Every structure is written in structure tokens, then in C-alpha cells.
Structure 1
Amino acid sequence: MAYMEKSDSYYDTEHAQTHAEDEEDSPIEEVRSVVPNTDDPTLPVWTFRMWTLGLAFSCLLSFVNQFFWYRQNAMSLSPLVVQLISFPLGKLLEAIIPRSRFFNPGPFNMKEHVLITAMANCSYSTAYAIDIITIQKLWYGQDIGWGGGLLLIWTTQFIGYGMAGVLRPYLVYPSSMVWPSNLANISLFRTFHVTESNWTGPTRFKWFACCFLAMFVYYWLPGYFFQVLTFFSWACWIKPDNRTLAQLTSGYQGLGMLAVSFDWSTIVSYLSSPLVVPWWAIANIMVGFVTVAWIIAPALYYSNVWNAQRFPIITSALFTKDGELWDNSVVLDEHNRLNETAYAEYGPLYMTSFFSFTYGIMFAGLTAVLTHTILYHGKDIIQQFKRSRDHDDDIHMKLMRVYKEVPGYWYHATFIVAFGISFAVCYKWPMDLPWWGLILAIAIPIVFVLPIGIIQAVTNQQPGLNVITELIIGYALPGHPIANVTFKTYGYISMAQCLTFVSDLKLGHYTKIPPRAMFAVQMVGTFLAGIINLATARWLMGTIPNICTADAYPFTCPSAKTFYSASIIWGTIGPERMFGPSSPYNGLMYFFLVGLLLPIPFWFLAKKFPNSWLKYVHIPLIFNATAMMPPAVPLNFSMWCAAGFVFMFWLRKYRHSWWIKYNYVTSAAFDSGCAIAAIIIFGVVTGSGYTPQWWGNGGYGLNAQFDNCPMALYNGSDACVLC
């Protein structure tokens, strides 16, 4: 039972606990060091506090992150914010609500805390299907409305959840399936709920409040009064009419060399907060970013590879052979499918050298994950998979037997219902995906989810299926852009959602959450987030004039633009035309081979010099992070790496006690303070229609250019096709 009748003795410090013999514990050392081998099954979880805070934070995160998804710097609030803020709020409710079985059954406990965070974790990521809804409405002239939008979002999310339940015996129950990211979360949970007798300095909550207030007040400078601070491209102001200088140093539309940003949302966009990423990972990403953005990209551009100088130096926009912006409507028929005759006259399609090269990086990242995982973790994966088949029940599995498990048919029914409704979505609304395409889209994650889940459970790395899904449907159904992105969404996000849910199930397994309680909060969080995501998206698209254009800054939609470009590249034109033997980009296909082979020499070197820096080289991380440009710009990476150096190297090494106490709290405070300020600023601008007009705000539109470096948009012939 999740709740048991308690007398006043419940409020004493001595609780009835289920525990193991001293020598019985997890066979995994990392788990033993963080997760206790005890449980108190009398702790209440179905409480007013849990539901109130869980629902409130689910709504807040799904709204805020969807709101920011359309902005130039698409920062997001992470569940870490919920994990930190919900504790003092839970303690507040504990103090002010009269005691009762449901409303206030006793001290705010860790199980309630975990469930609140798990519910928020199901809602904080923007639904991937919003990309489809956005590009259909804004670029393809199709509005699938509330009904189609909700069903598309819910089906793409819940199919993965149905798959997660089937995988419990393989990815949740075995002790060998560690899921390392959960260990850090549990450590933070325990810092709140296990009393620390040697604490000095401000409490975490006081520190959070101070940092939140400071960031909230400060963000009004880069967010409203002095917006050039967001992309502070001081070097190009030395000679504003110099095209090359602007291309190299502009932070907004250039390579961002010497540019800086004083805007926290710029730092945390795309790569999340650098305060929660290990320094060795930051260093790998920094090497990849500098190599690609500051060495290879200018070399390709100024060498005029792929006729690069006909186009701006960095953008996800697409172009004709003459350097004009690609008008996709010219090559589409009335059903939004490719008109081959029109394409023969209008094409071929061209990308900037930077954008095309990052596709090669993406190809390499996919195969590099496979090689890296086999070389570095292959033996561990095989060994732990064998152990999982032997039903290696550790103490945590034994302790969980006191709770009623979720019947398998609950998950099966979730999958079957979501899968069945998916056919209605594809045939009732203009998704253009035939029945066999939908079946194939779901078959791909079904085949790959277990091996990839094992990889993630052991290594914390998740190879993505987005490129593979685009490639498969691009060859199977060329000339169908909406079908392509629909196939990609069902094929890619089903696996990603499944493993997100599985990770949360493992978190509940470690923290002894009743499985039916975890099922409930995951279902509710996912269901609610879909409504909030769609409502926020439709509200913004309906109220912001010229949204997803430069005139709507900061609502320029870099992610949606990249998704739209991908729909043209893989859907309208297709991989055969874009990357086939007759294409100028055919050489990028060799990056699959590059990614497959490149980890091998570093593995041999790491084996030969085991105590050197070579053991930290992580080729898949270098590739997969760098492939985020665009929509990310180099300044997002340079400032992220700089902040990571300060917090994750210098402070961690030289101010370790401060870092242990306040690093993660600082990250959450900055994220939430910045996000709340940005939403209020949006309300001020929308309500008053006023923004200070002066040089420090850079003007509006591309003629003025946001960071006062308009020449960054020009091509090698001093023409501005984006102006």
C-alpha cells in the first residue's frame, strides 16, 4: 500500500523500515555509494502536496520551455529546477496545512519529492511533434487544428511509454542496468532529506533565492533595455562595413570569434546548463566546436567549396544555384509533394558550406557512437546483459516486491490505443504518411530500443535515430516532406520517449516508489504537457506578427527553421538527389565511414597510455554536440564552454567546498530567474508595444541587424539575400 494508517508515532524519527542484512547490497559499486539498501513502505505518496506541486510544475515547465522554443536563444528549465524549488515549497505546505491523511500526513518525504520531479520530467521537453505543427502552419499552409495537434502529440509520446513497460524486465529490474544519470539525482535528493550536521554558510534555499533574484533583476538589461549585450560583437564594430570581419566576429549571424554574451539564455541554449556537465565532456565539445566553427568552416567558405561564397557564411536557410533564397512552394504541387518538372527547372538545392558540413558531422556522430560503445563498453554491456538474463535480483528488486507492480496489460493497452489512433491521425489530417510508413516508423524503434537502451543504461549515451529515419523514408517515399517529418517523429521520438520513461522507472526503482504511483504521474504529466505545449504554440503563432522571421525578434524560431530545412532536404528533394552520386554533397556520405573508424586509433592510444588525457577523448560527444550548429550559433558554444571552465574546472578544483554546496543550486536559480524575467518582459512588450529604441538595442529587422553587424549576412559578392 502506498499509504498506511499512522498514529502520532509516525512523526517521530524512528520509522519502521524494511532493510537488508548488513552485507546485502547492490553488486554495483556506484549504486552502493549513493542508493541506500533500506526502505520505509509506510511513507505516504498519494498526497495533496505531491499532486499540487507536481501538476503546478508540470504546467510551468511545459509552458516556459515551449515559450522559449520559439525564441532565438531556446533555453529550457530542467527538472533540476523542480527538484530544488519543490523541496522548500513542500516543507512550507507541511508547515501551514493542518494534518490529515491526504492533505498533510506528516513530514514532506523523499518519495513525494521524487514523484513531483518525475511528473515534471515527463513534461519539460517540448513535444517533438510541435515541429511538424509549426512548419505545417507557417510554411506549408496546413493547419491540423486542435484535434489533430493533440492527437499527434499524444500518440508520439504515449507509444514510447507503452514500449517502456515491456522493457522493465530488461532495463529496470536488473542491477546491471545502472542508468548513471539517476545516481546524481538521487544524491541531490538525499542532500535535502538526510540531515547534514556539518553545514556552514547560507542554506541552499537562501542561496537559490539570492541568485534567482539577482538574475531576475539583471536579465532586464540583455532582455529589454540593452539587448546588444546578448550578442556583444564588439570586434566587428571596429570597421562595420568590412564583410569578412563581420562574418568572422558577428555573434548573431557570424562565426562569433571574439564575440561575447552577457545573457544567460545565450549560454544555456541548446547545450543546457554547463554547470551540470563534467569538465572532460565540456573540453571534448570545445575541441569539436573550435575545429568545426573556427577552423573548418572559414576554410570551406573562403576556399569557395560548394560555391560557398554565393551564400552567407552561416544559416540554415536553403538557396538556389544563383544564390537566391529557396522558395519551396515553386517545386510543390497542390498536395505539398514534389513536382519533378518544376524542380528540374528551378533546382538544384544548395546549402551553405557550414550547414552542409554539419550534416556530415551528424552522419559521423551516428556511426561513431556504435564504434565507441563496442570498443569502450562492449565487454561491460555483454556481461551485464548476461547478468540481466539471469534475473540478478539485488536488494533493491527485493525491496520493491512489497509494492503492487503495474500489470503488463496497462502498458500494452497504452501502446495499442496510441498506435491505433496514429492511423487516424495520418489519414484524417494531411500527414501524407501511408499505413505501411507508419508501421515501418514504429518497427524501427521496436528493433533498436533494447540494444540502445542497454547502451544508455551502462554508458549514459543514447544514439539517436533521427538521421536514420529521415534517410529510410527519404529513399522509400521521396518528394513527400510532411510524410518525411511525420515518419521521423514517430520513429525517432518513440524510442527517445521510451528511454526517458524507462530512466524514470529506474529512478523510482532506486528510491522505492510504488510502481502504480510512478505510472500515474508519468501518464498525467505527459497528457498535461501535450495540452500546454500545443496551447502555447498556437497562442504564440496566432499573436506574434511575422513569427519565425527576423522582424519578430526574439521569436525567430531557429529550431523550427532547421526542421523546415530538413523537411525540404530529406522530404521534398530526398537523399538520393541531395547526397547521391550526382550531388555536390555526395562526399558527405563518407562521414559515415569517418565516424565508424575515428574512435579506433584513440581507443588504442588510450589503452597504450592509460594515465594520459587520451582516456578522456570521446569522439561521439565531439560529433553529436557540434552537429547542433545550426540552429545553434558558435557564440552559444564559446560562451557555454567559458562558463563551464569557470564552474566545472576552476571552482570545482580550487573552491571545491563551495562547488559541492552551491553549484547545482546556482544553475537552477539562474535558469529560473532568467526564464521568469523573460516571460514578464514578453508581457510588458506585448501589453505596451514599447521597447527602447537606441543603438544598444540594435534596431529591428535585418537592415539594422540585431548586434549591429549587418555585413555578416552578405555573401562573397556583397549581396544580402537574407535582407
Structure 2
Amino acid sequence: MCEPPPVPAALPAALFIYEPLSSLCSHVDVSSLLSSPLLPIQDLEKVAEPTVAAATGVHISDAEEAIQHVKNLKKQHQWDPNLPEDVYDEIDEVLEGHDGAHQVDIAAELLENSPYPEVRAAVPNYDEGGHSNTIRAWVIGLILATVGSGLNTLFSMRNPYIVIPSYVAQVVAYPLGKAWEMWLPAWEFSFFGIKCNLNPGPFSKKEHTITVLMANASFNGGAAYATDVLLAQRAFYKQRYGWGFELLLCISTQMIGFGFAGFFTRFLVQPSAMIWPQNLINASLFTALHDHRSPDPSKTSGWRIGKYRLFLYTMIASFVWYWFPGYIAPFLSVFAWVTWIKPNNVVINQLFGGWTGLSLIPMTFDWTQISGFNFSPLISPWFGIANTLLGMFCWYWIVVLGVHFKGLFYAKYLPISDSNSYDNTGSPYKVANILNADGTFNLQKYKDYSPLFLSTTFAICYGLSFATMIAVIVHTGLFHGKELWIRLKNFGKEEEDVHARLMSRFNPVPLWWYGAILLAMIGISLGICLGYPTHLSWWAFFVALIIAIVWFIPIGIVQATTNIQIGLNVITEFIIGYMQPGRPMAMMLFKTYGYIGMLQGLFFCQDMKLGHYMKVPPRVTFSAQMVATLWTAIVQIGVMNWALGAISNVCSQDQVNHFSCPNGRVFFNASIIWGAIGPQRIFSPGSTYSPMLWFFLAGAILPVLVYIGARVWPKSPIRYLNAPIIFGGAGLIPPATPLNYLSWGIVGFIFNKWIKDRWRGWWMYYNYVFSAGLDVGLALCTILIFVALQLWNYEMTSWWGTNIAANTLDASYSAIQVTGEKFGPATWYQILRHPDHDPYNTASKHMPSHVQFEHGGVVSNKKNSKFIDKYNTYKAMCIIGENYNLYYSVWCEGDHEVYDMSITTFAEVANAFQIGYGFSFELSVFLSALVLLAGGDLLTGIYSIGGPGSRVPNTLGLAPGMSSHGVFEIDGSITREDTSEITQTSSCRDGMNMWKLPIDMEASLELRHRLRAMASAMTTRATNPVFYAAAIWFTVSHAERVFVYEGFANGTDQNADWDNIAPFFLNETFPSNCNPRILGGNEGSVNNFVPFFLSVNLTELAAGPAGLGCWVVENLLDVMPGQIRQLLLDNSELYNGFIKRVVAPLFTEDDFFNCNFGNFIEPGYSAGYNDTIVQSASRSPVNVAYAGIGVIKPHSQPS
């Protein structure tokens, strides 16, 4: 074995590449390695890649040492459902026994092998030695990774699509490795001074493992998730940010989980309890392919066939058989014979159907149906299967049957089980009906079209997802919290597990390697989010990472112990839909970084465990995973771009070869549903599916009950209950059906319970090899049918076997009780309250989560006393926007405040108004422009009114009267008590807390209040040189009327006239001692209050919205302090560009913002408005909301 030159001490980072490279080129003759005696591990040096076979060599000297070892073992496995009862008995025998020699023997037996029969059946308790890091392994691995990832990417763009599993690469790599071993010469050559060998001897298991690790990292889960994001963006949103964006997105989303995985190996890889059942198939297949010996019949329940032959026979049989359910006789796939008898009976098809029914008699002869959603049932432990079946029975039979046939959630108009979304006619939801031409959400179109409806199982699935996310956290804390804490405290100490002790002879991967990758990927990801118009805020990106980190260990424990996956896809969509609504691209990225960041990390952990089992040096595993992931990310982007350019009519529904991009289409629809419609319109209180939120509470309660039961009755079956699996084990329904899980559970019971208990020897030797044969044969046959027949549209000849199962309501997705009728609520957008009910209480019940009432009000006369009226409907309606906090309050008598803003684009403000208030698009744009104009910051952010904010480091001066709200505030109320004084003040510093409470304005309180208002006014004048009080109410009075109509009256059965709207305007009058506020402010210096007089031409204003935008600007300039007005005029060219390019095009039919800022030279100058009465066009902001301002009669306006 050649030795590499020493690594310079000054270049530790070179180890990152150098050390794997050195072992890559090393060579040793291992032809007689397996026949040589095993050396005790303590006699071996710790090196990069030992090639000598070794055993652990555990030595326990006395009973006291044995008891200590077993105590540690019991602590680590206290609540381990996979640990057999006989092992628990042996542990108790050691701890409670008195025979020292017997205790030592039992302890040594427990520590010399895995305590799990599943692991002992697949993984030897010694290191067989041999090289892993060879040229041969890297070349074969990279070739298979390239081909597999490229084909999976291409196939994912076709409907139906297939996924090439890594089992295929594992099987194909074996003959390639053996051919290399036989045919290529053992040439030695030097590479940078290192001697390398082209053919280092027999193709070893460890080399084979490297090829599989590369395949798993590249394509085991199908095409990269990022390609679905990019297909949705390019094919359906018609956007493209270039190759750089695409490559960086794919690399970062694939690799960021790698950084996470390295920090959690202590918890998810090294412990023996983390068995990762999926790896046992790979390990068994390695043994079957490399070891052709026959077994001892006394240990295999009488069977003599070797693993290799059993695998071949099973693979061939599976390959041949799948031609029947997969192509020739598809009725064998879903054998729902009851529906064949009554093909047009809705209830029969709903109850017994296997495609969109509940499969009350589950029958299938198709391994795809059995293993397609939860992997092979021969892998998962019986307790995991049992919990999944328990949840399936409870939720998808009992609850779904009750909900559906009770008609809840309009169930009789919908299928009982499918993954589509529907409109209120029962047709598939047409996302295009709620989009603008540029692909953005249009609220008015949504109102005109339909709310979204889900099948019964789909709705329940969302609730179960909510419960699972909470249950897995609570369950982990209760059942594994102590164990995790012990592992954290014992970081760096030797594990009791035999495989961990064997791996201790290898140089570990330094944590900073993973940290460097994680930081690099975070940097790239931030560059993607902020450097491109993704609309995903930096803080939202970090929330996605926090979600992935928080759920990493809990979900990892479930997957590592049961082989059942729990996804974060639903909860990430749910969270981003509330955090940043109306941003589909942001939703897709948030989901990808949050969900795939965790999922990819768990896949990396699973592969690390495979290397752990096969005794591959950790640094070699690290290098193989990293290089394969980086390389195949580039490959997948290249294949995707080739397909989009070379395949004609790609991603369209009528593409001749069915390259319709189904995954990208689903991703696009989900981005609209969750990113545009948003979860608040689907799940918030008052919406159709709001009861699903109760599942959050259920998810928190059930694990606690299970834990209490397990503590009280530790030997009872309660200890095997697992709340996360009960909620989420069958979480893939839909698109899966109960048939998939029931057949999976039945087969799992037969092999992992019945056969395992009765014929343990057969199960230990053959179970996983038999499963591998079924999976590989199915995969090979599926690929052949797809490539040779389906890709070229060769369909099976029509006969009874192809028609009998297809001609049912179940198979045609049409088993619906009531069709042809319109259903659903009369109104589905947000109605804040109804005029006939109490304003405050009713509004609290019906308002959406983004609109809330502040407990306060305005001054009015009631029962001969003056007090704050908390029932004022308009008091502090607030909307929490996407990337900012926008607070827009509307008082009946005209107080408008807009503050606490930290925005990124004008469009985001408009979108917030549109979604939050239900305004028309044009009105939203108008109010957004008003906000920006009135706030004194259109584009530059160089000054603020009301104090400094995060965007504005330099202000024109302190504003103690208004500084508590950040960037700016506008206070223009004419009914607030503090504005009734001749001295000016803002209530937002000292007065706001007082105004939140009901106050009886008796003499003493009135005096106290007036003195406080006066003191606040004096402070403001004395310290704020740019304080001003402006006529804000006049500028938005029209919008206020529209708000009343649009937000309250529209969508009801009442006419939108003053008689119906009047209840919203409470009886508000001025206090008897009211002195009208004088408009004005300090002119650049303190204690320099100058009144500004405003002249309003109400005749022009009543003419319509034409020129209204210019009028707003003009009047704001009239009342602005001089230096602020001058600053605006100095930047007139900049603002003109903003008006002309951004705002004006939205009002092409109106002369709405057709004004020139350069004309605003003197206060009162009517710039751009020619005194001509212009008829409101159809797109005017007011006219869209209702047919003219005259709906609210001028003489009927409130006092």
C-alpha cells in the first residue's frame, strides 16, 4: 500500500479533498482478505482507510463492568419499540442477577452484535476489510449517477412518469465492477506524486457501496425538487432568471440538507436504535451479489437456496409477473370486484373502489400498489405497520365515512377520495380563472369564480398533517428527550453499538466541513432570494431553515426507526401562506428550502448509516455524497434545459408524447392555491375547512396520553403506540388510497409478524433479499414498459381485462353523489360583519386573521357623557402584510393612519390592500399611491415623518410625538379628543394607551386628559421641527366610502345604499368644547408652528376620479413643511418617472395620475387638472367598486 506525502500543517483545508484522494489511489492485495483471521479493533491504528478485516474485540472483565454497560444500553433503549422483548428480559437478567459469569456472558453477547434481529439479519458484526475509495468505484458511481439523474429528470416531465430507483444502479454496478476487475489491467501510475492502481483487485462490497451512495445522493428520490420549481416558473409563469439562478437553486436546495445532516449524525446515525430499515435491503443485496455460498439449512428453517439465487429467481419472477397488472391485464392492479358488479352505483364505488374509494375489501396483485407509497412492507417493523393501520382505520374509514355521508364540507358534491381541487360546480378548479394576464392573483376574479373545495380524504389529510407536525415534536420530547440529552452530554464518547465501535477506527469527518458547506449554501440561497425577484424575504428564508432544523431530529427518529416518512410540505405551505401571502414564487422557494432541506438531509443521514453498516470510512462517504450531489445537480439542470428547448410543445397538455410536465403543473397550481389564494381563505376561522385547525390541538394531546399510559402500564401494548404515525403514517392518502396501505399492512403482517415469529431462521436469512428481488424486478419491468411501449404511445389491445376495471365510476373519478348543481357558501371572500349585528362582536367572529380590531374608539355622546366608544366599527382595522407591517386604520369620521411600514415594492403595498380589504385592483393601487405619497417616501427613503425606521437611517429631526410607530405616521382625525384642542399634538406618544380603554369623561378625567394632550402638544412642538398636521381625511374620503361598500355591503343580499350602510356609522358628534384643529406644522424649526390653509374645490372633487391623484398630491404639498415640499420638488424628475411608468399605466382609461410634479410650484396650483368634468371609466378605482360615488348620497353622509 503506497503512502501519500504528508499534508502541510499550514493547509488543513486541503484535507477536504486531499485525504480521500490519497486513499483513492492506494492499492493492496485483498484476494485473501476475507479468509484471514479478524483482528481486534483495539490492535489497529486509526487511519484514513483500513483495509484489514476486524472485529470489535469487546472484553468485559467482571459483573460490575457488565452491569454498567447494560445500564447504558437500557438508558438508550428505554422506550425503543423495535427492541425485542427477549432483549429486555436479558437486560433485566443482567441488572437483577447474581451470577457474575452469566452476567458477563449476556452483556458481551448484547454488545458484540446489534440487539435488533433486523440488523443482525443484514449486516455482519465485523468489518470485512477491503478498499472503498478506488478509481473504479468513482468512475462507475459517477456514470450511474449521471445516467440515472438525467433519465429521472427527463421522465419526470412526462405524464405518467416513472422514477428509476437506486436499486437498479446497485444491480447494474455489480456486473460493471466485475467486468472492470476481469478485463482492465492493474496499471499503476502517479498522480501528483501519489501512486495509483487502475484495477486494485476484486470488486469489493465497499466499492459497491460507494456507487450506491452516489446513486442515492443523486436520484433515489427522483428528479431534484428544484426542477419542479423551475418548470413551474418557466413553463407556467413564463419567467426565467437564467442559468445562474437555475444552477444555484438546484445546488443549494440539494446541498443545504447535507450541512444539516453532518450536525445530527450523533443522534440519527451512530445510535444503534436508528436502524434505517431501508438500508437493510441494500446491505442484504450486497451480500447476495457478492456472496454465492449456500446456507446451513438448520439455520434457515430447512431452506438450502443461497441468497444470490433467491434474489435472481425473485427478480425474474417479479419482472415477468408485472407485465400482467402493469400492461396486459390491468384489472389485477386494483382488484375491486364489487365495483365491477355495480359499476354505476355511486355508494358502492365510493366504499369499495380502489382508485377513488375506501377499499373496504382491499385486493391487489400488483407489487406497485403494495409498495409504491410506503416502500416494501418487508422492510418496516411490525409496530410501525400496526400504528399506520390503526391510524388508517380511525381516520380514513371511521372519520371519513362519517364526515362524507353526513355531508360535511359539501362532501356529497365531491369525490370521497382524490387529490384534486374543485370549484363550486364540482369541476376541477381552474387556476387560470383567478389570475391576471401576468400570472398574479386577481381577487375580483376569485370572487366572481369560486372558493376551493377538496375531497373528504384530502381535507382530513390536511388536518392530519397539522396534527402530525405537533405530535412528532411532543412525542420526541416525551419519549426521546432524555436519550437525546444523554447523547448530547456524551458527545465524543464511544458508543455501545458494535458498528459504531468498528467505525471508530476511521478518521471522522470534522464538523467544520459540514459547517463550511452549510454556510456556503446559506450564502448562495440568500443570494438567490435577494438577488433575483423571488419576493422571498431574508427573514422568511431563515424561518424555512428553522423549520427544517426544528423538525429534523423528530422526523428523523420516526423515519430511522419505522421507514415511514413524514413530510413538511403541508406545514411549510401553510406557514408561508400566512407569513407572505400573494407571493407564489416565494411560496415555492420557502417550501423547497424548508421541506427539501430537511428531507434531503435525512436522505444523507440514511446514506451515512449505509456507509456505517458497510464500514466505509466517513470521509470517503462524505466525498462521494458531496461530489455526486454537486455534479448531478448540474446534470439535471442541463437535461431540463435541453428538454425545454428540444421537445416541441413541451409542458402543454396536448404534447404528442405526453411531456406535459405534470410535477411542474402541480407545483404551479399549489403555488397559486397556497401563495395567492392563501391558507387564510381555506382554513382560517369562518372558512369551509377551519375545523381542520382542531387537529393542531389533537396532535398535542394524544402523545401526552400515550406517554402517561406507557408510564403507568410499561409492559402493556400502549408502549408501542406512536402518535405521529397514527396521525401521519398514512399521510399520502390521497393520492394513495386505503388499498395501498391495507395491502401493504397485510403483507407486512405476514412477513414481519407471522413468518418472523414462526420461522425466524428463514426470515433472518431471506426476508430482505426477497424484498430486494421483488423491488428490482418491478423496477426493471416498469422501465422497459415505459421506454419500449408507453413512451411511444403503444397501448395494450382492448379486451375484457383492460375494460372491466376501467369502466367504473371509481376508475373514472366520477363516484359523486350529487352532480350538476352549484354548491358552497353564498359568499366566500371575507365579510367582516353584517349591518344587522353588533359591530364589535360580529366583526370579531367573521373577520379574517389579517384584519383585527383594536379595543378602542372615538369620542361620541352616549347617555349624556363623553367616553371612548369601543364599538366603533372603524376603530383600527389593521392588516399585517407580507414583508412589512402595514397598519391602515379608518375612522368613520375620517381618521386615517398609515405607519410601521418597511416595504420593498409599490406592488406589495397594492397587493396588501387588495387582499386585506377585498378592494378592486385599481382602488388598491390608488390607496397604495396615497400611502407612499402621504408618507413622504416614494422611492428614495432619505427622510421620514415620524421618526427613524429600519430603512431610514437619517431623518430631518426627532419626532417624539410620532416616533413610536417607526417610519412615518399620519394623524388627521377630526373627532379625537386631542385634536379638539387649539394646541396641536399627536396622541400616539402618551395618549394612545389611554385611548384603548373606555373612559368616562367626567370633570376630573376630562381635565386630566386635556392637560395630557396639551403637554404632549407642547413636547411635540418643542422637539419636532418637521411636525405637521395635514388634511388627510379630505384626500381619502372617496376611498372611505368605497371601503364601506366593498368591505361590508358587497356580496350580501342587501342593496348598497345609505340605508343599509348607515349602521356602520355610529352616532358620533364633536364634544361640546371642541375647537377645530388648525392645520399646520413647524417650518423646519421647533416652536415655529405655522398654520396652512386648505381650499378644497368640492365641485371638482365630485366630478369623479379623473385627476384625483394629482389633487391628492397637490393638497399634500399644500400642507407639507416647506423643506419637505422643496425636497419633493427637487426630485420631480424621479417622481414623474415613477408616476408615468408605474402608476399611470394601471389607469390607461382614466386621466387618473396624468399630472406633472414640476407644475407644483405654489400651494394651491392645480397641476394637470383642467377643470373639465370627466366621466368615470370602467376601470376607475371607485367605479369598479360600485357604480359611482352617488351610491352614498351626499346629503346622507354622517354628521
For Structure 1 versus Structure 2, the TM-score category normalised by the shorter chain is 0.7 to 0.9
Q: CA deviation at 1:393?
A: 10
Deviations 1:465-487 (A, max 9, x none): 43443233211111222321210
Task: Find the counterpart in structure 2 of residue 33 from structure 1.
Answer: 113
Offset at residue 315 of structure 1 (A): 1.9
Report the TM-score, using the length of structure 2 for normalisation: 0.53
One-letter code aligned to 1:155: S
Alignment match, 2:700: 596
What is the CA–CA distance in structure 1 between the aligned matches of 2:285 and 2:792, rounded to whole Å? 43
Native 8 Å contact 2:333 2:364 kept in 1: yes
Whether 1:659 aligns to 2:763 is: yes
Aligned match of 2:729 = 625
Cα distance change of structure 1 residues 648 and 448 upon mapping to structure 2, 3 Å threshold: closer
Contact 1:242 1:711 in 2 (8 A): no
1:354-373 matched pairs, under 5 angstroms: 354-373=457-476
C-alpha displacement at 1:710, in angstroms?
A: 5.6
Q: Note closer, same or farther for the CA distance 1:715–1:530 as it changes in structure 2 (3 Å cut).
A: same
The residue that corresponds to 1:198 in the other structure is 296
Equivalent in 698, 713, 717 of residue 814 of structure 2: 713
Do 1:171 and 1:453's aligned partners in 2 also have CA atoms closer than 8 Å? no
Q: Which residue of 2 aligns with 1:471?
A: 574
Residues in 2 aligned to 1:609 and 1:450: alpha-carbon distance in whole angstroms: 27
Which moves more between the two structures, 423-432 or 488-497? 423-432
Indicate the residue corresponding to 2:358 in structure 1: 255
> 3-state DSSP class of the match of 2:524?
helix
Letter in 2 for 1:716: Q
> How many angstroms does 1:662 deviate by?
2.1
* 77-86 vs 376-385, which moves further: 77-86
Q: Does 1:122 align with 2:217?
A: yes
Give the conservation status (yes or no) of the 8 Å contact 2:509–2:619. yes
* 1:637 pairs with 2:733: no
Query: Is the CA contact 1:53–1:86 (under 8 Å) kept in the aligned structure 2?
Result: yes
Residue identity opposite 1:580 in structure 2 = S
Name the Cα RMSD after superposition. Answer: 4.2
TM superposition score normalised by structure 1: 0.85
- Cα offset for 1:96? 5.0
Q: Which structure 1 residue ranges, 5 or more long, are not aligned?
A: none
**Is 1:19 the equivalent of 2:41?**
yes
Shift of 1:225: 1.7
Alignment of 1:428-447 (within 5 A): 431-446=534-549
Q: Is the Cα contact below 8 Å between 1:215 and 1:673 reproduced in 2?
A: yes
Determine the structure 1 residue equivalent to 2:876: none
- What secondary structure, in the 3-state scheme, does the structure 1 residue paired with 2:682 have? helix
Cα shift readout 1:289-326 (whole Å, capped 9, x = no counterpart): 22222222222111110111122222222222343332
Q: What's the CA shift string for 1:146-204, capped at 9, x where partnerless?
A: 66544322210111223334556x5489x658532278479748956788873662221
| AA at the equivalent of 1:524 | V
Q: Which residue does 2:132 correspond to in 1?
A: 45
Distance change (3 Å), C-alpha of 1:569 and 1:16: same
1:514 matched residue in structure 2: 617
> Does the aligned pair in 2 maintain the 1:75–1:266 contact within 8 Å?
no
Q: Secondary structure at the match of 1:219?
A: helix
Cα deviation code 1:115-143 (max 9, x no counterpart): 23322221211223243244445654556
Code of the residue aligned with 1:47 in structure 2: it is T
Q: How far, CA to CA, are the matches of 2:715 and 2:207 in structure 1?
A: 43
Distance 1:13 1:709, change over 3 A: closer
Structure 1 partner of 2:828: none
Q: What is the identity, as a one-letter code, of the residue corresponding to 1:58? A: A
Q: What one-letter code is carried by the residue in structure 2 that aligns with 1:297?
A: V
Correspondence 1:251-650 to 2 at 5 A: 251-388=354-491, 406=509, 410-426=513-529, 431-446=534-549, 449=552, 464-509=567-612, 511-531=614-634, 563=667, 566-650=670-754
Taking the aligned partners of 2:407 and 2:186, their CA distance within structure 1 comes to 73
Q: Which residue of 2 aligns with 1:153?
A: 250
Following the alignment from structure 2 to structure 1, what is the Cα–Cα distance between the partners of residues 393 and 650?
Answer: 34
Stretch of structure 1 that moved more, 661-670 or 681-690:
681-690
| Range moving further from structure 2, 134-143 or 667-676 | 134-143
TM-fit CA distance, 1:445: 3.1
**Conservation of the 8 A alpha-carbon contact between 1:73 and 1:265:** no
Partner of 2:477, secondary structure, is helix
Change (3 A) 1:136 1:374: same
Offset at residue 453 of structure 1 (A): 6.0
Flag the 1:680–1:171 CA change in 2: closer, same or farther, 3 A. same
Q: Per the alignment, in what secondary structure is the counterpart of residue 180 of structure 1? A: coil
What's the CA shift for 1:87?
A: 5.5
Deviations 1:82-114 (A, max 9, x none): 567756764565455554563432333343233
Instruction: Give the direction of change, closer, same or farther, for the CA distance of 1:588–1:641 in structure 2 (3 Å limit).
Output: same
Q: Give the match for residue 684 of structure 1.
A: 788
- Shift in Å at residue 633 of structure 1? 1.9
Please report how far the alpha carbon of residue 355 of structure 1 lies from its aligned counterpart in structure 2 after TM superposition: 0.9
Secondary structure in 2 aligned to 1:122? helix
Q: Note the alpha carbon deviations across 1:666-706, whole angstroms, 9 max, x for none.
A: 22222221222122212332565432342446469xxx946
Confirm or deny that 1:163 pairs with 2:260: yes
Give the Cα separation in 2 of the matches to 1:638 and 1:158: 36
1:38-80, Cα deviation, whole Å (9 max, x unpaired):
7687x32232442244235434654676677678998866556
Q: 1:218 is matched with which residue?
A: 321
CA contact (8 A) 1:74 1:265 kept: no
> Is the Cα contact below 8 Å between 1:172 and 1:505 reproduced in 2?
no
The offset of 1:717, in angstroms, is 1.8
The code of the aligned residue for 2:248 comes to: L
Query: Higher mean Cα deviation, 250-259 or 308-317?
Result: 250-259
Deviation at 1:17, TM superposition (A): 4.7
Change in CA separation of 1:103 and 1:347 when aligned onto 2, cut-off 3 Å: same
List gaps (5 residues or longer) in structure 2: 1-21, 44-56, 61-68, 74-106, 115-122, 188-195, 298-302, 823-1199
Asked whether the 8 Å contact 2:473–2:554 carries over to 1, the reply is no
Q: Are 2:200 and 1:105 equivalent residues in the alignment?
A: yes
1:45 is aligned with what amino acid? S
Q: Distance between the aligned counterparts of 2:503 and 2:811, measured in 1?
A: 61
The offset of 1:521, in angstroms, is: 0.9
* Conserved? CA contact 1:18–1:399, under 8 Å: no
CA contact (8 A) 1:562 1:630 kept: no
- Measured at CA, do residues 380 and 16 of structure 1 come closer, stay the same or move farther in structure 2, by a change above 3 Å? closer
* CA distance in structure 1 between the partners assigned to 2:126 and 2:479 by the alignment: 33
Q: Compared with structure 1, are the counterparts of its residues 648 and 96 closer, same or farther at alpha carbon in structure 2 (3 Å cutoff)?
A: farther
Kindly tell me the number of residue pairs found equivalent between the two proteins: 715
1:227 to 321, 330, 333: 330
Q: Could you tell me whether the CA contact under 8 Å between 1:68 and 1:75 is conserved in 2?
A: yes
Amino acid at match of 2:726: I
Inter-partner Cα distance in structure 2 for 1:466 and 1:112: 35
**SS in structure 2 at match of 1:596:** helix
Alpha-carbon distance, 1:356 to partner: 0.9
Could you tell me the percent identity over the aligned residues? Answer: 35
Counterpart of 1:208 in structure 2 is 311
Amino acid at match of 1:284: N
Q: Quick one: distance in 1 between partners of 2:595 and 2:672? A: 18
Contact 2:339–2:352 (8 Å) recurs in 1: yes
Determine the structure 2 residue equivalent to 1:243.
346
Provide the rounded CA distance (Å) in 1 between the counterparts of 2:373 and 2:474: 25
What secondary structure sits across from 2:729 in the alignment?
A: helix
